[in-house]
Amino acid sequence: MFCKRTQKIAALMLICFLVVTGIPIGNHKICTTNTYAATTTKNKISLFDSNKTMSKTVYADLTGDEQTEEVDFQITYGENDIIDTFNIRINGENALTLKSLGYVVRVSCLKLSAKEIFMYIVDASDNGDPTVDAIYHYNENTKKLEQVLILDTVNYKKGTCHVYSTVKVSNDTLKVTYMGQMLATGYIKWVYEYNYKNGKFVLKNNTAKIFRKWHKGNFVANKNITFYKKAGITKKAFTIKQGTSVKLQKIKTVKNTYYLQFKYGKKTGWIKAGKTNIFKDVVLVG
């Protein structure tokens, strides 16, 4: 007859053996399954990384009812190690299929509140540029992951040739730090904040301060440049001559177009971020 202490040790050793070997317990393999509590206080949790595995099953509360859903991730590769398809099944139902992605795809769970839970999906292709960079919400009625916010990807019309984003949750606010290579200025960094309202993320303020730029010093005009009083408005604020120096201040999004604010003396004015060859020594990479 074994004592209780010996029985506990034996049971613990058996569990460790099953975890290491991946032998199924019930219908699931412990070594390929991640579980987090439905009542977790963490507001951002990594669910899947294709650099680590091609398929994975996790258990997560996606609806806020304190019950976990079974979430299966599966990728298939095509030529040149490009992801051909990325499939997500929730509770056995196909919830989302993405095709022709980059080299790697990552998924995180974002929790803004007990009832507002989302899935953030981002991939990386050439130069690290994402082809998908978006946030999804699970609809219990349709059994589908529905896109509720598209974060910026490469968009020449908008004024940028490379954009990367970092997502953070603070209370009930989604904070996105963007690092974008503007055609006019090169790389800059700024933060936009979003709130979730009526089934969509809404930008709290479409104007943000630029807190970092890669260009050293002020920007020197490569030719005469006209600045405007407001972003998207044709009323002139002032014009500078070739060789004049201006200071970059802010960024603003108007009708899916980026605008940049510059300061000249006590005056400020806006130009489109997509203008090229207007400043000296601007380096564009990639």
What phi and psi, each to the nearest 5 degrees, are found at residue 10?
Answer: -65, -40
* pLDDT tens profile 224-279: 999 999 999 999 999 999 999 999 999 999 988 899 999 999 999 999 999 999 99
Q: Lowest-pLDDT range, 148-162, 179-193, 241-255?
A: 148-162
Tell me the pLDDT of the chain averaged across its residues: 84
Average pLDDT over residues 101-125: 91
pLDDT higher than 60, residue 73: yes
pLDDT higher than 60, residue 204: yes
pLDDT at 1: 44
- ∠ CA 267-272-276, nearest 5°, is 110
Average pLDDT over residues 20-33: 36
Choice between 96 and 21, residue whose per-residue pLDDT is larger = 96
pLDDT at 32: 43
The predicted model scores a pTM of 0.80
Instruction: Please state, for a pLDDT cut of 70, what percent of the chain lies above it.
Output: 83
* pLDDT tens profile 47-58: 999 999 999 999
Calculate the CA dihedral of residues 9, 14, 16, 19 and round it to 10 degrees: -160
**CA 210 – CA 57 distance, rounded (Å):** 40
pLDDT at 13: 44
pLDDT at 157: 63
